[in-house]
Structure formats: structure tokens, C-alpha cells
Structure 1
């Protein structure tokens, strides 16, 4: 699936991924290939980008935002983020 992580200033990540773990306001959740359509508010926490099944991951700390899943594409819009 395709993933984009965007802030008001720049694009943090764009590319094909195996999955992504997100900090929802009611708890963490994971989106994998062919996930059902979804819109969710995100709380402060870690966004873990699962690049492939081998364990190659990238982690971003975010302050909150929103995520949209539609047609095997995930858009994550965040106020601020740092790579950890």
C-alpha cells in the first residue's frame, strides 16, 4: 500500500509500505494492505512505518493529527513530527 506522512511544512514520508502503526486517540491501531476505508483522529505518540516484513521500520514522534485510509492509500496529516 502507499503511505504519505505530511506536515504543514513538508512531506516527511512517501512510498510503498507493508503497514503502519498509528496512535489513535482511543488507542493504537495498525493499517495493513487492503484495509477498509477509515478516517481517524490521532493523539500524541509514535507512528511506526513498517517498510517490509523483514523489520525495516521508521518511527516518527507526532503531536497529533488525522489519518485517512482509502483505496489502499494512507494519508497521515500531522501538526508536527520528528524522526526517532
Structure 2
């Protein structure tokens, strides 16, 4: 499972284990699974798609600007606003 955190300047919005997250990057959408290579990207206004299980329906969460970082601990999305 992938450790996923969504953080805004006000609070930690999410911290959970998920199957995959699709992030609206400024260069295009990208999916992150467990074991993804280290990566950093700016994000555009759009929707995170959070897949709790393989083949499951995604939960969609609106985000507005910020950064996404993938490292050995998982995926962290630092959004200007979420929801």
C-alpha cells in the first residue's frame, strides 16, 4: 500500500494507506503507486483521484495549486486549498 498525505497551510487533511493516487500535475496527470521512483511536481487546479483498492472506484477531491512529492515514505501533496 501507498502512504498518502494531503496537507494544506491550515491542516493535515488526509493521512492514509491507499492503492493509488492520480495527481493533476502542471505537466499532465500522473499516477502514483507504492514503490514509485522519487519525484516532485507542481500541481494545477484539478481533482485528486484516490483509489483505496485496485480496481475500485476512485474518490475525487478538488485541489488548488501546490506541490506533490514522492519519496521512500510515500506521496505527499502540499495543496494551497483542498475541497
- Cα deviations across residues 4-23 of structure 1 (Å, max 9, x unaligned)? 00001111111111010000
CA contact (8 A) 1:33 1:72 kept: no
Q: Which runs of 5+ in 2 are unaligned?
A: none
Residue in structure 1 matched with residue 16 of structure 2 by the alignment: 15
Q: CA RMSD in A?
A: 1.1
Q: How many residues align?
A: 82
TM-score by length of 1: 0.90
TM-score by length of 2: 0.91
Q: Distance in 2 between matches of 1:14 and 1:56?
A: 19
Which secondary structure state, in structure 2, belongs to the residue aligned with residue 9 of structure 1? Answer: coil
Q: Which runs of 5+ in 1 are unaligned?
A: none
Instruction: Extract structure 1 runs of 4+ deviating beyond 6 A.
Output: none
